[in-house]
Amino acid sequence: MPTTPLLIGSEIYRRSSYGPKHPLAIPRVSTMLDLVRALGWLPAHQYVDSPVASPEALARFHAPDYIAALMRAEATQQVTPAERERYRIGADGNPVFPEVFRRPATSAGGTILAARLTLGGGVVHVPGGGTHHGRPDRAAGFCYVNDAVLGLMAWLDAGLTNILYLDIDAHHGDGVEDAFRDDPRVFTLSVHEEGRWPFTGALEDRAGGHARNIPVPAGFNDSEMAWLLHEAILPLLRHLRPQAVMLQCGADALEEDPLSRLALSNNAHRTVLRAVMAHAPRLVVLGGGGYNPWSVARCWAGLWAVLNGHPIPERLPPAAEAVLRGLSFHRAAGRNPPEHWFTTLADPPRPGVVRAAVRRAAAAALADLPARPPAMA
């Protein structure tokens, strides 16, 4: 890698919650940061405090009236029935909470900055980013803005013309695919659970040619992800030779996640990242979904280890273990957490049969690829 990897984070995530009953009641970015610091993996020169995107910066993708509604919701802690209906704030799992403007604006500010910091090459991890469902004029799927779209636009605005957005969250990256439906400079590839919300991203959905979707069946395992990596993702990277890659690493495709039925171990995420890194002159790694606090923190800390070439320890040192033991989780999985959630970063691998549907989807994703966009930057 040409430069030292940077991690863009913020303390806003530590005290912010979507509310006690919401899947995002749990701490995620703050736990990941505590964990990598406890491991000695985050010296001050690699950490950047995320800026908060201004309303003007958000307006590159979002409607000004929607941004104003988010700011009003934060200031008043309520929305009118008309605003709820129109902007889906306070509806559909997108609650009004104390940082309902600043938190998403921080995630956007981080990803926009990551795009700018990588213009000359390099790697930036933004665990608070990855809000891939956000729409220009409304909230969707716990996402109020779409930091990924804004970061990709920052790359485009700087002159890049050949970008790959790769999304391995359990849910379809619908907001990003739709944002670039008419812009072949951004190719999107999403691997997600079939038949799950938002119920888009079918195998046949190609958004005019420069999108691919690989819906995968329940129980999707490490061997199947490795198949997709070698039979779809890497061939696509070799074909496109993108100038930049944005990788959305939602942790909700992990076996222990309460919101999906996929069965990856976190080795799958690290394997994908390690392989993609070699083909990405500019790389921004985002977070995304992930609703089991232990799984999310261990997964994303492991990604940071890969970016830096740190070996994953067999057993965590006491300070790191204490971070994980300090978590609580008010769901079934939190009642009796297995010991390895406290003492390790790497899950036991979860290999399995590579099912025919996965093989077929990989082959279909490579059919009729568009020509590589001309590189003008």
Residue nearest Zn ion by beta-carbon distance: 289
> Is the peptide bond preceding residue 55 cis, with omega within 30 degrees of 0?
no
Angle, CA 288 vertex, CA 12 and CA 204 arms, to 5°? 155
- Least distance from Zn ion to the Cβ atom of residue 289, Å: 3
- Least distance from Zn ion to the Cβ atom of residue 286, Å: 12
Query: Of 252 and 255, which has the nearer Cβ to Zn ion?
Result: 252
Q: Does 174 bind Zn ion (CB under 5 A)?
A: no
Site for Zn ion in 23-52 (CB under 5 A): none
89 with 69: CB under 8 angstroms? yes
Q: Would residue 133 show up in a list of annotated catalytic residues for this protein?
A: yes
Q: Does 130 bind Zn ion (CB under 5 A)?
A: no
Q: Which stretch binds Zn ion (CB under 5 A): 92-100, 120-128, 167-175, 324-332?
A: 167-175
Tokens of 224: 């199947």
Largest Cα–Cα distance of the chain, in whole Å?
Answer: 55
188 with 209: CB under 8 angstroms? no
Tokens of 285: 């790694």
Q: Does 95 bind Zn ion (CB under 5 A)?
A: no
Alpha-carbon distance 243 to 164, whole Å?
A: 8
Q: Does 83 bind Zn ion (CB under 5 A)?
A: no
Which of 9, 289, 293, 373 is close enough to bind Zn ion by CB under 5 A? Answer: 289
Q: Does 169 bind Zn ion (CB under 5 A)?
A: yes
- Give me the catalytic one of 125, 132, 133, 192: 133
Alpha-carbon distance 227 to 342, whole Å?
A: 30
Lookup result for tokens 């995002």: 24
- Least distance from Zn ion to the Cβ atom of residue 111, Å: 16
| Chain centroid offset of residue 233 CA | 17
- Least distance from Zn ion to the Cβ atom of residue 321, Å: 28
Eight-class DSSP state of 101? T
Q: Does 171 bind Zn ion (CB under 5 A)?
A: yes
Alpha-carbon distance 345 to 233, whole Å?
A: 25
Q: Name the nearest CA neighbour of 100 among 111, 87, 112, 110.
A: 87
Alpha-carbon distance 55 to 67, whole Å?
A: 7
Count of CB atoms within 10 A of residue 43's CB? Answer: 9
Q: What is the contact mask toward Zn ion in residues 239 to 258, using x (rule: CB under 5 A)?
A: -----------x-x------
Q: Which stretch binds Zn ion (CB under 5 A): 112-120, 203-211, 229-237, 286-294?
A: 286-294
- Least distance from Zn ion to the Cβ atom of residue 256, Å: 14
Q: What is the contact mask toward Zn ion in residues 355 to 374, using x (rule: CB under 5 A)?
A: --------------------
Query: Of 84 and 133, which has the nearer Cβ to Zn ion?
Result: 133
Q: Nearest 5°: phi and psi at 185?
A: -70, -20
Q: Does 173 bind Zn ion (CB under 5 A)?
A: no
Query: Of 259 and 346, which has the nearer Cβ to Zn ion?
Result: 259
Interface with Zn ion (CB under 5 A): 169-171, 250, 252, 289
Instruction: Return the active site residues.
Output: 133
